[in-house]
Amino acid sequence: MSTRARAVEGFAGVLADLREDAGRPSFRVLAGRSGAISHTTLHEASQGRRLPSWETTVEYVRACGADPAGYRGRWEAARREVLACSRPGAAGPRRRPTAGGSGRRVLAVLGAAVATLAVLGGAEAAAHLPSAGARPAPGGAAVQAGPSSGALSPGGTHTATVRLRNTGTLTWRSYVLRRLGPPQHAEDCQTIPEVPVPATAPGATTSVPVTVTAPLHPGPCVVRFALTGPQGRRAGTEVRLRLEVG
């Protein structure tokens, strides 16, 4: 068994033991206790196929009635092993930021709508607005971006507050910001897969806190979300966070 597999399976065993100690509740029960993460993600966390994100670990541990602080050290140790195994010799060159050179920053890039992003613990935020004349969808959104200050340190946890304005005709109920892209790995920025969005009436604005754990190595990373309704239907808005870690 490889070092990476031992680290991942070892941490999965820690989570599985915690669930046993909690009386072996079903993953649907754990998801209900969490209210922030799906039962499939919680199930995956204890299977040993990949290391769960810290945010997933927090929700898993809390749902089992334990304190996440007691598991941070073990998660970080497993993550270091996974990262060490992910770069044989030297990892391939990571993409460098293409816009404007210096300084740590968080860049929010929005797809078919406009949104508000304020990042706590980031450095700088910006947004690209949609072209004029776009027709609002019934569940549409508007997103903007504002400046912030601070630094993103390797392995650090930061909270971005995404401000969404409902520009459609329907009240958002049971909406989420659903993470897009492939499954998360230890070298990626870590978030929970689905971030709950508060109920929001047409014309109203809501704030959605998104917790991001930075990778242990410096460089840029991108996190993409789509505003998604209860039936999995996208509202047409993509939020992209670009973090510069170092």
Cα–Cα distance measured from residue 208 to residue 196, given in angstroms and rounded to the nearest whole number: 7
Instruction: Indicate if 141 and 205 belong to the same structural domain.
Output: yes
Q: Answer yes or no: is 135 within a domain.
A: yes
Residue 98 domain flag: no
| pLDDT band at 139; cut points 50, 70, 90 | low
Residues 82 and 237: their CA atoms lie apart, in Å, by 33
Quick: pLDDT tens for 65-74.
998 888 988 9
236 band by pLDDT with thresholds 50, 70 and 90: low
Shared domain for 135 and 231, answered yes or no, is yes
Tell me: do 143 and 37 sit in the same domain.
no
**Is 94 domain-assigned?**
no
The three-state secondary structure class of 34 is helix
Structural domain contains residue 143: yes
d(CA 210, CA 162): 7
Does the residue 124 lie in any domain?
yes
| Last residue in a domain, options 51, 86, 121 | 86
Q: Give the model confidence (pLDDT) of 10-38 as tens digits.
A: 999 999 999 999 999 999 999 888 887 78
Q: How many domains does the chain fold into?
A: 2
Name the residue range of residue 81's domain.
3-86
